[in-house]
Structure 1
Amino acid sequence: MKTNILGLAVKESEVIANELNILLSNFQVYYQNLRGIHWNIRGKRFFDLHVKFEELYTDSQIKIDLIAERVLTVGGTPLHTFEDYIQNNQLVVGKNISNDEKAVQLIVTSLSHLLKMEREILTKSSEINDEGTNAMMSDFIAEQEKTIWMMQAWLEESL
């Protein structure tokens, strides 16, 4: 079996890089959704949600960079065009969402889908002992599960 400089199997690392690029594309759409709801949110909860959405898009910006750097680390080239992002996107695109409940529901739905993708990557990276990708996916999953829980608690309060 041919390995790369990290000691990981080359073919399997290419699969991981591809999966990370799909995740990267979806995170870019998630990021843009967050920007949109941050800009367009209206209503009595504006001040709280405006700040929360900024916190979330800032966090997703960091994650986007981490994913792209991991793609490079395992030997791939990170996708970086809107065309690539749209082609690989699996998330709902939130357009002109100003309602607080719809905005929070978009976040929950998006994060739920990102979690599925991250778990698939975690499974594949575990199979080849890619601890760097494992650690990143584990961290993302733990943070996003907590965010989903908080957003669902908020949605229950607002019903």
Structure 2
Amino acid sequence: MKTNILGLPVKESELIINELNVLLSNFQVYYQNLRGIHWNIRGKRFFDLHVKFEELYNDSQLKIDMIAERVLTLGGTPLHTFEDYIKNNQLLVGKNISNDEKAVHLIVTSLSHLLKIERQILSKSDEINDEGTNSMMSDFISEQEKTIWMMQAWLEETL
């Protein structure tokens, strides 16, 4: 079995690189959704949500960079065009969302789908003992699960 400089099997690493690029594309769409709801949010919860959405898009921007750097570390090339992002996107695109509940629902739905992609990557990276990818996916998953829980708690409060 041929291995890369990290000691990971080349063929399996290429599959993980492809999955990471799908995750990268979806995170870029998630980021743009967050920017849009940050800019367009209206209503009595504006001040709280405006700040929260900024916190989330700043966090997603850091994760985007981490994903791209992991692709590079594994020997791949991170996707970096809008054409690639749209081609690989699996998330709903939130356009002109100004309602607080619709915005939070979009976040929950997006994070839920990102978790599915991350768990697929985690499963594949675990099979080849790719601890770098495992660690990153585990961190993302635990943070996003907590964010979903908090967003759902907020939604229950507003009903």
Deviations 1:50-97 (A, max 9, x none): 000000000000000000000000111000000000000000000000
Amino acid aligned to 2:5? I
Q: Which residue is 1:74 aligned to?
A: 74
RMSD: 0.2
Q: Hey, what's the Cα distance between the residues in 2 that align with 1:76 and 1:13?
A: 9
Q: Which residue is 1:154 aligned to?
A: 154
Alignment of structure 1 residues 72-111 onto 2, 5 Å: 72-111=72-111
Question: 1:113 aligned to 2:113?
Answer: yes
Q: Hey, what's the Cα distance between the residues in 2 that align with 1:110 and 1:42?
A: 21
- 1:157: how far off? 0.2
Amino acid aligned to 1:151? M
Q: Hey, what's the Cα distance between the residues in 2 that align with 1:41 and 1:65?
A: 26
- 1:101: how far off? 0.0
The answer for unaligned runs of 5 or more in structure 1 is: none
Deviations 1:111-159 (A, max 9, x none): 0000000000000000000000000000000000000000000000000
Q: Hey, what's the Cα distance between the residues in 1 that align with 2:116 and 2:22?
A: 12
Local SS of the residue matching 1:147: helix
Q: Which residue is 1:34 aligned to?
A: 34
Q: Hey, what's the Cα distance between the residues in 2 that align with 1:119 and 1:153?
A: 23
Q: Hey, what's the Cα distance between the residues in 2 that align with 1:122 and 1:64?
A: 17
Q: Which residue is 1:53 aligned to?
A: 53
Q: Give the TM-score of the pair, scaled to structure 1.
A: 1.00
Local SS of the residue matching 1:118: helix
- 1:102: how far off? 0.0
Local SS of the residue matching 1:7: coil
Amino acid aligned to 1:115? L
- 1:6: how far off? 0.1
The runs of at least 4 consecutive aligned structure 1 residues that moved more than 4 Å come to: none
Deviations 1:34-58 (A, max 9, x none): 0000000000000000000000000
> Identity of aligned pairs, percent?
89
